[in-house]
Chains A and B, each alone.
Chain A
Amino acid sequence: MDSIWFKLLGVVVSFIVAFTVGMTYMGLSRKITARVQNRKGPPFYQNFIDAMKLGSKTSAIHHGVMQHFGPAFLMVSSVMSLMIIPVLNNGMWFSNLNFHGDLIFLLYIMVFGPLGMALGAGQTGNPNSAIGVTRGLSQMVGFEIPWVMALVALMIQYHTTSIVDLMNIQVESGTWLIFSSPFAFIAAVLAMLGMFRYSPFDIVGAPTELASGPMSENGGKYLFTMMSSASVFAFAKLTLYVDLFLGGASNLIELLIKTFVIYMIPVLYGVVSPRYRTEQSIRYFWGWPTFFGLLAILYAVFF
């Protein structure tokens, strides 16, 4: 069981699962957006087609070595997050590396990718890329605050920083953390809106304003790598939310249901929202979400 090959298999399988699920979810979000806008919308597998098309582009350009590294950094971050986050409740399947790191490590691994991507975007020399990166980083500072507050609240409430421990606590006590620490959940979910960069927080890669920002010089295989990384990352984040607040999942079906429910929050919020400017979104995150984060910490300290 502990053999390295088994582990590697687990990594590959979880990657494939994450990729598939993430892609499907993103396709579904497009479909849902279309339905909300009274359109028929693309089929739910449209994202696979797009990815395939991008992968089958026969030429590509790059502006230097950092542009090669950028998508790779992004992918490293996504896959590492996936490996640190326990996918299922029992440690046997897809346990990957999740006994080797904790929540704070995860936080840093999660920002690793965007920063690497930012470097890649920087080397293209396209001013739009740099502008998009500055907006993205600024917005990240915004949503990290409630997000960290929620996590810290969980940590002090249960005296552990390990995700696995938090899941075990939920399994043992039978209550999900969404009920035992509701404010942390609210803060975390509000922060998640920014993390997914859907509307209204999509100024980073606004297509008409910034020509898609950081991605503006990337096409073909670079875009393909980014897209698949984004889907893996989305799945990883959703799994993390499920693990932290919804008691994890004991099998894949349960996981899919729970992640889909969580995923609907930013998607549905997004389709009915206009777009915030950067400083507006930062102020948004430092308003109510941070307040709930504070409440969560107080709740954790006093109860």
Chain B
Amino acid sequence: MINDKNSQKIVDFIQNWARKHSIWVLAYGTGCGAIEIPPTMTSRYDAERLGVRGAATPRQADVLLITGYLTTKTLKRVIRVYEQMQDPKYVIGFGSCTINGGMYYDSYNTIKVLDKYLPVDVYINGCMPRPEAVLSGFAKLQELIAQGKANGAQKYKDNLDWYRENQKKIIPNWVMPEYNW
């Protein structure tokens, strides 16, 4: 309906503004990072004032927050959850485990680099990151959204084959539904 480039820009701006201020988080609470979420959400740090709010299911969520190491077994579930989320969607990697394996760098069963498997928009480093760090991570994400740069989902869609190859390398028994949007 709206084909004009400028009006598209305005629409994009408004939509991005809304997306920026309404971030529904699906916290995938693996590892020790999950314990940092409650203080972030509750009265001490109150992430809700930024519009950050927990979402119950992937269908409703905007952000997938991965709070720690991912074993090959959980990675499968995380990919599943990510694919169930609705566009636009973002991933936040949380803690050094998601960045480079952290203290599990030599584990036989834990992935070390998350962005080879899922398109991470924002990494929050630290082991563990404090709630302040988490909030700053959210702020960074908001910034990216406002600029329209948080396009991890688009990246995933474009490079699906590459991601799939990496994912299937450690999940040989691949039984998931097709990801086709």
Contact = CB atoms under 8 A, between A and B. Distances in A.
Interface string B51-94: 10111110111100000000000000000000001111000000
Q: Say whether chain A's binding surface is mostly helix, strand, loop, or mixed.
A: loop
B51 A59 contact: no
Contacts of A217: 57, 59
B42 A59 contact: no
A56 B181 contact: no
Q: How large is the interface on A (under 10, 10 to 19, 20 to 34, 35 or more residues)?
A: 20 to 34
Given A39-B42, A41-B48, A49-B51, A57 B88 contact: yes
Given A56-B19, A61-B86, A218 B59 contact: yes
Interface string B166-181: 0000000000000001
Contacts, number: 88
A154 to B, nearest CB: 38
Contacts of B21: 46, 49, 53
28 contacts: A34-B49, A37-B42, A37-B43, A38-B43, A39-B43, A39-B46, A39-B48, A40-B46, A42-B48, A42-B53, A52-B14, A52-B22, A56-B19, A57-B88, A58-B87, A59-B86, A59-B181, A60-B86, A205-B56, A207-B56, A208-B56, A212-B57, A217-B59, A218-B60, A219-B57, A219-B59, A219-B61, A219-B86
Interface of A: 30, 34, 37-43, 46, 49-50, 52-53, 56-61, 205, 207-208, 210-212, 215-220, 223
Interface of B: 14-15, 18-19, 21-22, 24, 42-43, 46, 48-49, 51, 53-57, 59-62, 85-88, 181
